Amino acid sequence: MFFKNSLLILTTLVFVAGCSKNDEDKDKKSQDKVAQKKDQQSEDKKDEKKKDEKNENTKAGSKDTTPPKVVSTFPQNGVTVNHKLTRMTVKFNEPMMDNSWSWAYEKKETFPELKGKPFYNENKTKNTVKIKLEPNQEYTVWINTSKFKNFKDKAGNPAKPYKLTFKTK
């Protein structure tokens, strides 16, 4: 009987110890998940703080040195258009300096005839110029070049040169 009772007590102790070990493992995993979540929240807060600081620095007068980018053109690069098209546009990812542009050419014979002065839309992100095209012609237009850099954002950063080509029918 002593042996049976000892075995029962020993079995119970092992079971209780096993439960206790499982509970410790669960607590450890739960604590790890909480710690990971806190770490992620801390990283998110740091990232948000960096964004806020960048915005504040830009507002506070630190110099914007990022050049504007061409978002789209009309006509699109590489397409064939009707020769009766009367305008050409370029859209940028940020507001541009007013009265400043460089619609430029490699060869005069592949550049459309400009009709009037280019102009920006109200928020200064899209520049339009009226043009006259000839049928069955291939056109090449540069939006800025290494020499002519007048498409600039409001901070004075010139857009990187962008080559636009299209054909007429």
The candidate with the shortest Cα–Cα distance to 102, out of 67, 72, 154, 141, is 141
Q: How confident is the model at residue 81 (pLDDT cuts 50, 70, 90)?
A: very high
Task: Quickly count: other Cβ atoms within 10 Å of residue 115's Cβ.
Answer: 11
Domain with residues 70-168, CATH architecture = Sandwich (2.60)
Residues 134 and 142 sit within 8 Å (Cβ to Cβ):
no
- pTM (2 d.p.): 0.65
Q: What is the mean pLDDT of the segment spanning 35-58? A: 54
Locate 18 and state its tokens: 């096993």
Distance CA 52, CA 32 (A): 30
Average pLDDT in the chain:
81
> What pLDDT does residue 45 have?
58
